[in-house]
């Protein structure tokens, strides 16, 4: 499998180009020349990538993977992929119909070798497309939490933007709880938060955590945070259900930590995932 | 360390949810990094086509100390992260860039660019992390560049494919894309050359993407596997030790291979649990060397040189991190 040494042909080709112009053409035709099918393969690969990025952008699913402030980068990527695809298509047409002498990359890029896409390499390069097409596009959920859900210190000390606690997100509640100096002042304030249901092993009956993923940049750095909810019908709620929880908050011992616990009056389990599943710090 | 990591491994309870998580994390890294890789390869292609190797060879100082300093600053001229820096460096080497400049550029450039400056600033503000990242990166990168310049000749360090022009003698040759039919091409002027040149840059960029994309994708697959299998909490429990915090962050930086333009945001997540010095080590070492870039280095340098290219920054940043942990309250 030719993974670690991407350019086996380039040694001879580069040295040939360097040693003298009179050898350049010969070297280029023996090493730098790709068969038309290779150009077609590249065309498909780049066009597929471009189409995938464009699809993510248009469908709005891009927000499942990256922070939405980076969306413009994906649009740029789609454009560049299409440009590379067009360039490969042009090379294919010249290689297929223009004859070997006109094959693009032959005249203008003598001494440069075009790496062929072998079958193992194709498996690697097509992996993003395969995962993108075969695995349903979904935001991170309960199975990705993999932790305690209660950070010892949330990532940002800035206080919630609003004085109205009904507008606070799960993260805002934790921020205010950890940084306001007097967490007991949270007692009795009304909460209205959206998140997915998560349960930790050993949490008391009649409770669940309403959780959100906090994402700085992309889904690779997303980590979950959550606030406990006390609700008498908690145990009927399946994990990963998106819920809207409303009720007053009481700071109390929950598991190992003192936490703001929402004593839910209503839990709406029919809301479905929000358009923007992640919170940004 | 391996044993510790093994202990941290835990089976994922639900297969389908695990696959879903893996896919989302993998695609997250790929989708985030692909634009930077593309911009890097485009830059690389444009350099090949538009930058005359005579200029680089003439402008880069022959003096080794000056060369290392120049390599640090060269990063600002090519705003690419570590996904894109290796193709650019490889092209610059073929253009006759001296070894000290090239190695320093390779190590410093992922951090020395406006986008990383902006992301680090927005994550950590103006403070010890931002200043430390830039100052220490410059010192370590210049130091490694000097070691390479003193210890080796280009012939011993570079794979033959990357060496054309470094060995000298080729600096007078015209750009390679003009090699065949140079007479006809040379007769063309200004605007006439622009479109074929741009087409050539695109063709080079697609070659680079095929060459380098495999490393990004394999790196992303490995990083996503780690994230799906290793409990983050268990890793975080290492974050308070003087030595373990630094080494853990270096292993994380190496394995996760997160793009230098975005690693500041990832590091932010460790702010509460890991020492500031270890986070600084993460931000300095990660952009220089990680699993993905090690594989990429192998396409430019000989295996022995790659070993030094990994070990020198590793040990130097480890020493800095542990020293800061012991002596400086950040």
| Residues B292, B75: Cα–Cα separation, whole Å | 19
Q: Pick from A21, A112, A219: which is nearest to B182 by CB?
A: A21
Question: Each residue of A208-227: pLDDT tens digit?
Answer: 999 998 887 778 778 788 89
Nearest by Cα to B149 from B67, B61, B55: B67
Alpha-carbon distance A265 to nearest alpha carbon in chain B (angstroms): 31
| Residues B237, B223: Cα–Cα separation, whole Å | 20
Q: In chain B, which residue's Cα lies nearest the Cα of A72? A: B35
Look at residue A159 in the predicted model and tell me its pLDDT.
Answer: 54
- Using a CB-CB cut-off of 8 Å, the residues of chain A touching B262 are 216-218, 221
The yes/no answer to whether this complex scores an ipTM above 0.85 is: no
Return the domain boundaries, chain A.
10-134, 142-279
Q: In chain B, which residue's Cα lies nearest the Cα of A32? A: B207
Look at residue A146 in the predicted model and tell me its pLDDT.
Answer: 66
Question: Each residue of A170-202: pLDDT tens digit?
Answer: 888 888 887 777 777 788 889 999 999 998 888
Look at residue A183 in the predicted model and tell me its pLDDT.
Answer: 75
Nearest by Cα to B261 from B86, B114, B41: B114
The DSSP bridge pattern shows strands A266-268 and A242-254 to be antiparallel
Question: Each residue of B35-59: pLDDT tens digit?
Answer: 877 887 787 778 778 776 566 666 7
Q: What is the largest CA-CA distance in chain B?
A: 68
Q: Percentage of chain A surpassing pLDDT 70? A: 77
| Residues B275, B172: Cα–Cα separation, whole Å | 52
Instruction: Specify which of A110-119, A155-164, A256-265, B79-88 reaches the highest per-range mean pLDDT.
Output: A256-265
Look at residue B122 in the predicted model and tell me its pLDDT.
Answer: 67
| Residues A128, B26: Cα–Cα separation, whole Å | 8
- Across the interface, do B179 and A21 touch by the CB < 8 Å criterion? yes
- Across the interface, do B21 and A151 touch by the CB < 8 Å criterion? no
Look at residue B284 in the predicted model and tell me its pLDDT.
Answer: 95
> A265-269 long-range CB contacts below 8 Å, 24 or more apart?
A267/A229, A267/A231, A267/A233, A267/A237, A267/A243, A268/A243, A268/A244, A269/A237, A269/A241, A269/A242, A269/A243
- Across the interface, do B176 and A7 touch by the CB < 8 Å criterion? no
- Using a CB-CB cut-off of 8 Å, the residues of chain B touching A62 are 31
Q: Pick from B18, B212, B268: which is nearest to A143 by CB?
A: B18
A2-11, A160-169, B234-243: least confident range: A2-11
| Residues B196, B202: Cα–Cα separation, whole Å | 10
Question: Within the 242-281 window of chain A, which residues sit less than 8 Å (CB to CB) from chain B?
Answer: 281
In this predicted structure, the answer to whether residue A87 has a pLDDT above a threshold of 90 is: yes
Average pLDDT taken over every residue of chain A:
78
Q: What is the largest CA-CA distance in chain A?
A: 86
Contact (CB, 8 A) for B222 and B39: no
Q: Which residues face A257 on adjacent strands?
A: A254
pLDDT confidence tier of residue A59, bands split at 50, 70 and 90: very high
Q: Pick from A28, A121, A216: which is nearest to B180 by CB?
A: A28
Look at residue B84 in the predicted model and tell me its pLDDT.
Answer: 64
The DSSP bridge pattern shows strands A257-263 and A242-254 to be antiparallel
Q: Pick from A84, A124, A135: which is nearest to B202 by CB?
A: A84
Look at residue B15 in the predicted model and tell me its pLDDT.
Answer: 63
Find all residues with CB under 8 Å of A240, minimum gap 6, and list them: A141, A142, A143, A196, A197, A198
Alpha-carbon distance B292 to nearest alpha carbon in chain A (angstroms): 11
Look at residue B117 in the predicted model and tell me its pLDDT.
Answer: 82
| Residues B157, B149: Cα–Cα separation, whole Å | 10
CATH-assigned architecture of domain A142-279 = Beta Barrel (2.40)
- Across the interface, do B262 and A105 touch by the CB < 8 Å criterion? no
| Residues A173, A226: Cα–Cα separation, whole Å | 9
Nearest by Cα to A130 from B107, B99, B217: B217
Look at residue B191 in the predicted model and tell me its pLDDT.
Answer: 47
Contact (CB, 8 A) for A197 and A243: yes
| Residues B165, B162: Cα–Cα separation, whole Å | 9
Alpha-carbon distance A167 to nearest alpha carbon in chain B (angstroms): 24
- Tally of CA atoms within 13 A in the half-sphere of A174 that contains its CB: 23
* A40–chain B Cβ distance below 8 A for any pair: no
Look at residue B180 in the predicted model and tell me its pLDDT.
Answer: 34
- Using a CB-CB cut-off of 8 Å, the residues of chain B touching A217 are 32, 262, 265-266
A147-161, A252-266, B20-34, B314-328: least confident range: A147-161
Look at residue B110 in the predicted model and tell me its pLDDT.
Answer: 87
Q: Pick from B200, B204, B231: which is nearest to A147 by CB?
A: B231
Query: What beta strand segments (E) does chain A contain?
Result: 190-198, 207-214, 223-230, 242-254, 257-263, 266-268, 278-279
In this predicted structure, the answer to whether residue A1 has a pLDDT above a threshold of 90 is: no
Look at residue B177 in the predicted model and tell me its pLDDT.
Answer: 41
- Across the interface, do A24 and B179 touch by the CB < 8 Å criterion? yes
Question: Each residue of B225-241: pLDDT tens digit?
Answer: 766 776 666 666 777 78
Q: Indicate the angle between helix axes B99-108 and B128-151, nearest 10 degrees.
A: 150
pLDDT: is A164 or A193 the higher one? A193
Contact (CB, 8 A) for B291 and B114: no
Look at residue B234 in the predicted model and tell me its pLDDT.
Answer: 67
B243 Ramachandran zone, left/alpha/beta (phi>0; psi -120 to 50) = alpha
Low-confidence stretches of chain B (pLDDT < 70) are 1-15, 52-58, 77-84, 115, 122-123, 152, 154, 161-192, 219, 226-227, 230-236, 258-259, 261-262, 265-266, 268-273
Q: Give the global pTM.
A: 0.72
Contact (CB, 8 A) for B180 and B192: no
pLDDT: is B63 or A124 the higher one? A124
* A49–chain B Cβ distance below 8 A for any pair: yes
Find all residues with CB under 8 Å of A261, minimum gap 6, and list them: A207, A227, A228, A229, A230, A249, A250, A251, A252, A254
Query: C-alpha angle with apex B198: B194 to B201, nearest 5 degrees?
Result: 140
């Amino acid at each position: 499998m030719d993974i670690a040494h991407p350019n086996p042909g380039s040694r001879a080709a580069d040295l040939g180009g360097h040693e003298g112009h009179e050898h350049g053409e010969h070297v280029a035709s023996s090493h730098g020349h790709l068969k038309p099918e290779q150009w077609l393969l590249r065309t498909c690969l780049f066009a597929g990538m471009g189409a995938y990025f464009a699809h993510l952008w248009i469908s709005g699913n891009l927000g499942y993977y990256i922070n939405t402030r980076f969306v413009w980068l994906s649009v740029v990527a789609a454009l560049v992929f299409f440009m590379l695809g067009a360039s490969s298509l042009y090379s294919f047409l010249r290689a297929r119909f223009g004859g070997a002498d006109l094959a693009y990359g032959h005249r203008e890029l003598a001494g440069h070798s075009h790496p062929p896409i072998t079958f193992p390499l194709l498996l690697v390069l097509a992996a993003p497309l395969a995962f993108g097409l075969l695995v349903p596009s979904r935001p991170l959920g309960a199975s990705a939490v993999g932790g305690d859900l209660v950070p010892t210190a949330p990532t940002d000390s800035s206080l919630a933007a609003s004085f109205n606690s009904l507008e606070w997100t799960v993260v805002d509640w934790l921020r205010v709880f950890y940084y306001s100096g007097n967490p007991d002042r949270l007692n009795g304030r009304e909460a209205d938060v959206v998140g997915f249901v998560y349960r930790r092993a050993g949490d008391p009956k009649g409770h669940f955590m309403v959780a959100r993923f906090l994402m700085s940049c992309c889904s690779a750095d997303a980590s979950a945070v959550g606030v406990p909810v006390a609700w008498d019908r908690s145990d009927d709620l399946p994990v990963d259900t998106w819920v809207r929880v409303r009720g007053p908050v009481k700071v109390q011992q929950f598991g190992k930590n003192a936490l703001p616990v929402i004593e839910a009056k209503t839990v709406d389990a029919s809301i479905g995932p929000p358009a923007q599943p992640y919170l940004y710090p | 360390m391996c044993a510790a990591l093994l202990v941290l491994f835990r089976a994922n309870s639900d297969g389908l949810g695990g696959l879903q998580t893996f896919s989302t994390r993998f695609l997250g890294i790929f989708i985030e990094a692909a634009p930077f890789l593309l911009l890097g390869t485009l830059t690389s292609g444009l350099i090949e086509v538009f930058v005359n190797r005579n200029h680089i060879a003439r402008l880069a100082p022959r003096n080794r100390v000056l060369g290392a300093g120049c390599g640090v600053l060269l990063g600002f001229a090519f705003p690419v992260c570590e996904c894109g820096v290796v193709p650019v460096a490889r092209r610059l080497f073929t253009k006759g860039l001296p070894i000290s400049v090239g190695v320093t550029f390779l190590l410093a450039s992922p951090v020395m660019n406006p986008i990383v400056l902006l992301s680090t600033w927005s994550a950590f503000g103006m403070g010890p992390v931002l200043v430390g990242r830039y100052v220490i990166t410059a010192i370590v990168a210049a130091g490694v560049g000097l070691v390479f310049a003193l210890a080796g000749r280009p012939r011993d360090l570079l794979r033959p494919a990357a060496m054309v022009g470094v060995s000298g003698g080729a600096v007078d040759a015209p750009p390679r894309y003009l090699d065949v039919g140079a007479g006809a091409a040379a007769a063309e002027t200004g605007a006439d050359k622009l479109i074929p040149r741009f087409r050539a840059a695109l063709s080079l960029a697609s070659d680079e993407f095929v060459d380098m994309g495999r490393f990004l994708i394999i790196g992303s697959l490995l990083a996503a596997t780690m994230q799906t299998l290793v409990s983050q909490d268990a890793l975080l429990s290492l974050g308070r030790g003087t030595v373990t915090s630094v080494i853990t962050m270096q292993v994380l930086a190496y394995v996760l291979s997160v793009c230098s333009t975005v690693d500041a945001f990832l590091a932010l997540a460790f702010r509460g649990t890991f020492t500031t010095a270890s986070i600084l080590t993460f931000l300095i070492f990660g952009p220089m060397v990680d699993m993905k870039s090690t594989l990429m280095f192998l396409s430019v340098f000989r295996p022995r040189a790659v070993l030094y290219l990994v070990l020198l920054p590793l040990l130097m940043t480890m020493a800095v991190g542990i020293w800061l942990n012991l002596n400086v309250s950040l």
